[in-house]
Structure 1
Amino acid sequence: MENKILLLVLFLTSSLYHNLKAQEIDNQVYFTTGFKIGEVTDKSAVILTRLCKTSKPVAVHHKRKEAPFKSPIDFDNTVPINNMEGAVEGSFGQVKIRLLSKDTLIQTKWMYVSAYKDFTIKRKFENLRPNTTYNITIEGKKEEESPTTHIKGKFTTAPSQKEAVPVLFTSSTCQYYWSYDNPTRGFKIYDSMLKLNPLFHCQTGDYVYYDKPGPMAYTVPLARHKWHAMNSWPSLMDFYKATPLYIQKDDHDLLKDDATPYSSPFGELTFEDGLSIWREQVPIMGKPYRTFRWGKDLQIWVVEGREFRSDNKIPDGKNKTIWGREQINWFKKTVQSSDATFKVLVSPTPIVGPDRPKGKFDNHSNVSFETEGTWLRQYLADQNVFVINGDRHWQYVSVDPKTGLWEFSQGPVSDTHAQGWNPDNVKPEHRFLRVKGGFLATKVYREDGVPIINFMHYDVDGKLMHDEKISAKQ
């Protein structure tokens, strides 16, 4: 009899324990899609995160086609989103963010997230100190008495514009979830870039691809899923926890190929839907075109190429534009007033090229925007501006034969995403050409008192493939 009572007690205790653990798990929130540090200046930064219901994304189980792109085989676009690879369901709850330097603590109150904004939350921190490292702790909980989850990272603010300090930053473009080259980490380049300890990173568009399968993002929930899946790759999470981001959109992470405000919807997804999701998912506040100063020797311009452009298909002329009049006026004013030693334009699309001659009518190197492109190349050359561009799926260094303008194309994030140019087709303007994936690192420093800018192309494994060192004009 005593044995039966003991067994019953053990059974009830075990059941109670498992029920409590299940309730605890159900009451837990996670940071499965990480967080982003954006728009860092010498005085401010924006932090964005999202509360999640599960600790891990849905694992990849589809086989893939051959390169390029390696899209999934027999993907069913109609299955529930939470069953799709990379799915990370959001969770209601509260978030608290703390920044800690050597002698300063800045923190928010507990803030509720909303399903209306996909359980994301975004806050700008001001009154920071220049050239100062801040450790970040983000806490999350579902309810007042729920267990707390946390995630940590760090960043360093920009130096003041009077300081001549070395700056190294990275940049990349064009990443499709299914073009991953590491089945557990996601994309190799993020781990390779992190080893360089960049002070910041420029992502020049096509962060996700709404119009490639796995799924095709015909609705707002499917479009949001693309961000969840991409952000849950461990290599991206680790990189962005330690690296501030300046991000730009292009066509595929806004709506579809060659998107403009005049584009028809992609399924049920409209251009305005794309803008709304973009603003929700990235650490940006204010205008989509911005400029950032990093000490005495470097200033970058991060421009917008989709929101203000003309219809791609109308005839070229003085009124046909990619940037729009307001952005052009802002750009000219800020460039001409800058006393930075080196000026770098970060563009989502090419300005010099060369681009493919057939079927391309979307950027300043195409004849469809020849009028604005011709003016822009000459203006940038006259102002001694260098161009870093995204959108092209190959790496190159080009020097415009008419103006001498330099352009550096980063290439896509993986070798399986590289395509679109014959590697044997080396043009006179090419100083470097490689039809493979990788990234660009840019370093600004002084050698014997002389300012130098160094553009370095790397492969996905972090091997240096080409570099160009250019001294400041005396």
Structure 2
Amino acid sequence: MNLNNRRKFFKKVIAGLVSFSIVPKIASEATALKMKRRAEVPYFTNGFKIAEVDTNTTMLWTRLCSQAEPNPVRHERIEKVFRHPINFDENQEVSKMDGAVAGTEGMVRATVKDKRGRTVYTSSWKKATPANDFTSQIPIKDLKSGHAYQIILEAKKTDSGEVNIEQGSFSTAPGKKDKVPVLLTTSTCQYFWSFDDKTRGFHTYDSMAKLNPDFFVHTGDYIYYDKPGPLAKNFEKARHKWHAMNGWPSLRDFFKKVPIYMIKDDHDVLKDDAYLGKGPYGDLTFQDGVKIWYENVPIEDKPYRTVRWGKDLQFWMVEGREYRSPNDMEDGSEKSIWGKEQIDWFTKSVDESDATFKLLFTATPIVGPDRERKKDNHSNSNFQNEGDWLRGYLSSQENMFVVNGDRHWQYVSKDAETGLVEFGSGPVSDYHVQGWDEGDVRPEHQYLNLIGGFLSIKVDRESGEPKIRFNHRDVFGKVVNEQSFIG
């Protein structure tokens, strides 16, 4: 090899060595930069909710998170009702628990666009802080009735930080004179460990999404503080229950395009049969539970409210925990689940309504039948005085029906004395079914089925006549019972 060739050879070797040492360095720096940017971006790991939709308003909710995905489910479950986790360490750090999602400080804003892509509203940047568990609620007003809208949520950690974006869609309620069809779904009672899809969470939410409902009503027990994995006996564990539930992909995807209305029940605020004055549950008080509820449920005013959806439907959602009397109080005219203020509001608004069909959504039964040992609802003997009055009042209203949560089985019941009809949607999953014997069919029952799933309700017009159709469905959306009524 001559001198020139040797020089060329060594130059190539040296260049290769230099290149080899530089490339990994550049790659590692790029990876580090990418990871740094990811760490600086808030995530929508708990999704967002479009809530309380009316003719021209809605409320948005979200929580800013520091991790892109919830902690994976690591524990196996016992093979009986509620599927409690096996060997779950209740004293471990919450950040290490199955389904945990860490929050992060930051700011979020919402932009609303109409179906033509024109911006009709942009909020200011709202701060997400530890005081409210990094949640943010954004009221949106001055929308048009019966219009479709797109939601764009932006989140960042600092004023100059990188922005993360999430999108969704919804439609406002039509005006009270508009004769338009409406389809809604409703379900109840979901415990994180009663999931029936280890990846998605709950089949019911994916099945409801396929129907493209106009809205969804959850009638209580969205989470369970008093069931293990963990038992929510303090603020941190109670908040974790919401993080884990909202982290399921089936819920996150559903709420991107279906507005929600939520009603609280006992397990959402403290423990079984909770009321003000009962408790605490470990270190968690009833007041703590109510605060955490309003962190996660965007309601601007009272927890009882009514919504008009076109000419043919109006529905009421009532509050059964904040105003109730103690369960062990002697029954009589002073003992109440709703309280006087709510009763006065309810009867006045119902009397004023000219909607063809009226639906009362309640967390607990009014007709039943219920188990003899239960003592916390209007179908039980220890609230019989108010229950008798309520069944009589509701049955006097033309085309009014009750839709309730709390019961862990599907049913339709007709009160023997008043004729009031009540629809129990059943729990979200089959793994949550319990509390009633399959062969125990009572005279009130028009339908009884020990399965999970949901109830779909459709209001439309056939040959000019208004009609309401109630369909019980299993977790995969198959219709298992149907009842319809002409207005």
TM-score category (smaller protein): over 0.9
Matched, 1:237 2:261: no
Deviation at 1:283, TM superposition (A): 2.0
Q: SS of the counterpart of 1:170?
A: strand
Displacement of 1:2 in angstroms is 4.2
CA drift at 1:162: 0.4
Name the counterpart of 2:424.
Answer: 409
1:136-156 deviation per Cα after TM superposition (whole angstroms, max 9, x unaligned): 111111123322211111000
SS state at 2:178 partner: coil
- 5+ residue gaps, structure 1, are none
Specify which of 53, 62, 87 is matched with residue 66 of structure 2: 53
In structure 1, the residue corresponding to 2:53 is in which secondary structure? coil
The residue number in structure 2 matching 1:66 is 79
Q: Deviations over 1:377-399 (max 9, x none)?
A: 00000013200000000000000
Shift of 1:4: 4.0
Task: Determine which of 255, 273, 288 is the counterpart of 2:303.
Answer: 288
RMSD: 1.0
Letter in 2 for 1:284: I
* Match status 1:375 vs 2:395: no
1:260 maps onto 2:275 in alignment: yes
CA apart distance, 1:66: 1.2
State the secondary structure of the residue aligned to 1:193.
helix
- Aligned-pair CA distance for 1:26: 1.5
2:6 corresponding residue in structure 1: none
- The 5 A counterparts of 1:316-355 are 316-355=331-370
Deviation at residue 449 of structure 1 after TM alignment: 1.1
Distance across 2 between alignment mates of 1:443 and 1:102:
25
Match of 2:40 in 1: 27
2:51 aligned partner: 38
**TM alignment of 1:384-423, pairs within 5 A:** 384=398, 385-423=400-438
Q: Does 1:121 align with 2:126?
A: no
Distance in 1 (CA, whole Å) between partners of 2:472 and 2:115 is: 35
Counterpart Cα distance in 1 of 2:125 and 2:339: 40
Which residue number corresponds to residue 27 of structure 2? Answer: 14
Distance in 2, matches of 1:233 and 1:396, equals: 27
Distance (Å, rounded) in 2 between the aligned partners of 1:85 and 1:305: 31
1:3 to partner: Cα distance: 4.2
2 CA distance for matches of 1:47 and 1:111? 12
Question: What is the total number of aligned residue pairs between the two structures?
Answer: 471
Q: CA-to-partner distance for each residue in 1:76-115, whole Å, 9 max, x for gaps? A: 1111111101111001111121110035411112222111
Structure 1 equivalent of residue 156 of structure 2? 141
Shift of 1:56: 0.3
Q: Which residue of structure 1 lines up, in the alignment, with residue 182 of structure 2?
A: 167
Q: What per-residue deviation string (whole Å, max 9, x for no partner) do you get for residues 158-216 of structure 1?
A: 00000011011000000000000011110000011111111000000000000000100
Task: Tell me which residue corresponds to 1:97.
Answer: 110
**Contact 2:85–2:228 (Cα < 8 Å) also in 1:** yes
User: For the residues of structure 1 that align with 2:34 and 2:254, how far apart are their CA atoms?
Assistant: 32
Structure 2 counterpart of 1:34, which letter?
A: G
Query: Which residue does the alignment assign to 1:366?
Result: 380
- CA distance in 2 between partners of 1:142 and 1:423 (Å): 53
Cα distance in 2 for residues equivalent to 1:182 and 1:22: 31
Name the counterpart of 2:471.
456
In the aligned structure 2, how far is the partner of 1:450 from the partner of 1:4?
A: 83
Alignment of 1:140-219 (within 5 A): 140-219=155-234
- Asked whether the equivalents of residues 349 and 389 of structure 1 are also in contact (C-alpha less than 8 Å), the reply is yes
Asked if the contact 1:206–1:249 (Cα under 8 Å) also holds between the matched residues in 2, the reply is yes
Q: Secondary structure at the match of 1:164?
A: coil
Which residue in the other structure is 1:300 paired with? 315
What is the TM-score normalised by the length of structure 2?
Answer: 0.95
Task: Report the secondary structure of 1:252's partner residue.
Answer: helix
- Letter aligned with residue 138 of structure 1: L
What is the CA–CA distance in structure 2 between the aligned matches of 1:18 and 1:239, rounded to whole Å? Answer: 33
CA–CA distance in structure 1, aligned partners of residues 126 and 208 of structure 2: 33
Name the CA distance, whole Å, in 2 between partners of 1:160 and 1:264: 44
Larger-Rg structure: 2
Provide Cα deviations, 1:8-40, integer angstroms capped at 9, x if missing partner: 323432332232122112212110010001111
Letter in 1 for 2:62: T
Whole-angstrom CA distance in 1 between matches of 2:105 and 2:431: 37
Does 1:251 find its partner at 2:266?
yes
SS of the residue corresponding to residue 291 of structure 1 reads strand
Residue 460 of structure 2 is aligned to residue 439 of structure 1: no
Moved >6 Å (runs of 4+):
none
Contact 1:67 1:417 in 2 (8 A): no
Letter of the 1:344 partner, please give it.
L
Instruction: Say whether the 8 Å CA contact 2:115–2:150 is kept in structure 1.
Output: no
**CA positional deviation for 1:285:** 1.3
* Equivalent of residue 88 in structure 2, options 75, 83, 90: 75
Report what 1:273 is aligned to: 288
- State yes or no: 1:221 paired with 2:225: no
Q: 1:330 & 1:58 partners in 2: Cα distance? A: 44
1:108 to 123, 127, 137: 123
The match for 1:428 is 443
TM-score, normalised with respect to structure 1: 0.98
DSSP 3-state at the match of 2:480 = strand
